[in-house]
Amino acid sequence: MKCAICNEKECEGGKDCTGIRTEILGKYKGENYRIFRVAGEIEARHYMKKTRLEEIILFGKQMGYRCVGLAFCIGFEKEATLVHKILEKHFTVVSVCCKVCGIGKSKFGLRQLRKKGFEASCNPIGQAKILNKSKTELNIIMGLCVGHDSLFIKHSRSPVTVFAVKDRVLAHNPLGAIYSNYYLEKVFGINMRWINENPDCI
């Protein structure tokens, strides 16, 4: 499959290019269907009207969740404080910092950012374990490192959604890299002529 570079996108009109439609339809039942239905309802009612944070709150409430988890990067400490306070107006909130357990990078033989002194490692599996133990019903990621977010999602027992991703170079707006002609051409090697010939792609 190369949907990203398909110019037709006939699936929007109902075409099944995969042959797995019947199999997939059978997957949308039980909890999967509830999540799918509520997500679709929020999209239909609030598309381009609500912020991502408002949508997360609506989703949690419509799903009947009472306890949500917030797994955040310590670099997002101030933002996480605000988000925690906003969420706790609607739910019981369990928030866990990425440095939880205070395990040194030296324990894993990891390179440190600073050359001297103790440096705690991120601990996404620990974050997931703590939220699992707290029986959160929805976990929210806020700024976890690339790869650490993958480990968190892998070990979370509850559904996971992303509120914010970390990109310190682009003010936490990773899409900026593909909206910048400089980045596209000089960093990623995308020919500007192709961009000019395909203006709808950006």
Is the pLDDT confidence value at 26 over 90? Answer: yes
Helix (H, G, I), strand (E, B) or coil at 68: strand
Confidence of residue 202 (pLDDT cuts 50, 70, 90): low
Confidence of residue 155 (pLDDT cuts 50, 70, 90): very high
For position 23, what pLDDT does the model report? 96
pLDDT digits (tens, 9 = 90+) for 1-21: 899 888 889 999 999 999 999
Is the pLDDT confidence value at 142 over 70? Answer: yes
pLDDT digits (tens, 9 = 90+) for 108-120: 888 888 778 899 9
What phi and psi values does residue 131 have, to the nearest 5 degrees? -70, -35
pLDDT digits (tens, 9 = 90+) for 76-103: 999 999 999 999 999 999 999 999 999 9
CA distance 142 to 132: 17
For position 201, what pLDDT does the model report? 64
- Which two structure tokens, joined as six digits, stand for 80? 């996480």
CA-to-CA separations, 103 to 69, 94, 133, 152, 160, in angstroms, rounded: 21, 21, 19, 16, 24
Greater model confidence, 195 or 158: 158
CA-to-CA separations, 88 to 35, 55, 99, 165, 170, in angstroms, rounded: 21, 15, 22, 21, 29
- Structural domains in the chain plus CATH codes: 19-166 (3.40.50.11840)
For position 116, what pLDDT does the model report? 80
For position 5, what pLDDT does the model report? 86
Confidence of residue 47 (pLDDT cuts 50, 70, 90): very high
